[in-house]
Amino acid sequence: MSENDTTGSPSRWLIRIPEIFAPFTDEILRGLGATSEKSFGREYHLVQASDPEVFRKSKAAKYLGWNLPIHHAWPCVPQKMENFIEKAAQGIFKKFGEAKPQTILTGALISTAPHPYYRHLATNLRGRTLQLFPTLPAAGVDDQRPAIPSLFCLVGKEGLYCGLQSPRDSNGFYPGGTKFISQGNSAISRAGAKIAEALHYLQLYRPPLAANAHWLELGASPGGMTSELLNRDYRVTAVDRAAMDSRIVNHKNLDFVRDDVLSYLPPHGTEFDAILCDMNGDGRDSLRSVVRLARHLKPKGLVVFTLKMLAVTTLREADELFSAVVAYAEKSGLNLIAQTHLTYNRFELTLFFEAADVKRS
């Protein structure tokens, strides 16, 4: 087994570059100052990097889906290993028994693999490992505190890779970052999964909005995201030039305005808790509409904004678009609190802003 120290900064990291950014892998690694040791499947890379801050602070970090410092690795083929679970669990306990993680979470190294073998192995490994540790403060994924280290373990046909890091620093509560959102055949649109994942992700940074909070949704048709908001007992004012799905258009908590966002004005005195914008078109234009309507946000109100990058062909163009949008938002009193590529995002990033504490006139 090759092992790093859990107290110092390891030099090996497991990073996940979403498949959609795969053509930019070399540039992303250069931006992180990291060199690739090995790739696992299409998204995971074991890399060497000397400065842990690059995973949080470099421009390239926004293209990572998830990251983990590797404090303990066991390269092997679990399927061919006798008593893999027992040996792996004992190895984890020996390494991290004193480290007091808030919880232990295990996942398959290639979380999207159709074959469930490694997902089952991961579940069984967690079960056995938890038997060895004393009771841990967080029972599961949703009990985690964002800034407290969890022990994340990923297992796949390449072996076992474990690291201790907070969910916030890893960029997600789940090992590998993906929260699976089940979308039945009756889902109104794929976008519903995006807002469901975004709201879960946002808990890395702030608690969820209370039920009954009022959302303004720009570019809402046909209503996949709207239905997720309504399912959480939020009130929604939704604006779109196109029609809403007939299953939700008459919902008691929905006020649908069929109009161009450019000419929409909320009724006098309206204050929203949050704005959601998933309009297609140029990201700069969409943000201008958000900024214009943000004067109707309460102090500390939330903005969830999909930054579509359709016309972008290089990472430099993506960086420029991102910087222009963020600079304009911040100049207008919307502070960026987080940005990420969600599993259900396409060629786009989801940005989260918070309105200034005090209203600007």
Q: Interface residues with ligand SAM (CB under 6 A)?
A: 189, 191-192, 219-225, 240-242, 260-262, 278-281
Q: How far is the CB of 217 from ligand SAM (least distance, A)?
A: 7
- CB closer to ligand SAM out of 46 and 276: 276
User: Which class for 313: exposed (0-12), middle (13-18), buried (19 or more C-beta within 10 A)?
Assistant: exposed
Tell me how far apart the alpha carbons of residues 274 and 305 are, in angstroms, rounded to a whole number.
11
- CB closer to ligand SAM out of 106 and 221: 221
Q: Which residue is nearest to ligand SAM (CB)?
A: 219
- CB closer to ligand SAM out of 151 and 229: 229
Q: How far is the CB of 260 from ligand SAM (least distance, A)?
A: 4
- CB closer to ligand SAM out of 197 and 240: 240
Q: How far is the CB of 306 from ligand SAM (least distance, A)?
A: 8
Q: What are phi and psi of 101, to 5 degrees?
A: -70, 160
Q: How far is the CB of 240 from ligand SAM (least distance, A)?
A: 4
- CB closer to ligand SAM out of 18 and 219: 219
Tell me how far apart the alpha carbons of residues 294 and 290 are, in angstroms, rounded to a whole number.
6
Residue type, 308: K
- CB closer to ligand SAM out of 74 and 344: 344
CB 64 within 8 A of CB 101: no
Q: How far is the CB of 69 from ligand SAM (least distance, A)?
A: 36
- CB closer to ligand SAM out of 12 and 194: 194
- CB closer to ligand SAM out of 102 and 189: 189
Q: How far is the CB of 230 from ligand SAM (least distance, A)?
A: 12
Residue 140's region, left for phi above 0, alpha for psi from -120 to 50, else beta, is beta
Q: How far is the CB of 286 from ligand SAM (least distance, A)?
A: 7
Q: How far is the CB of 349 from ligand SAM (least distance, A)?
A: 15
Nearest of 217, 248, 244, 216 to residue 231 by alpha carbon: 248
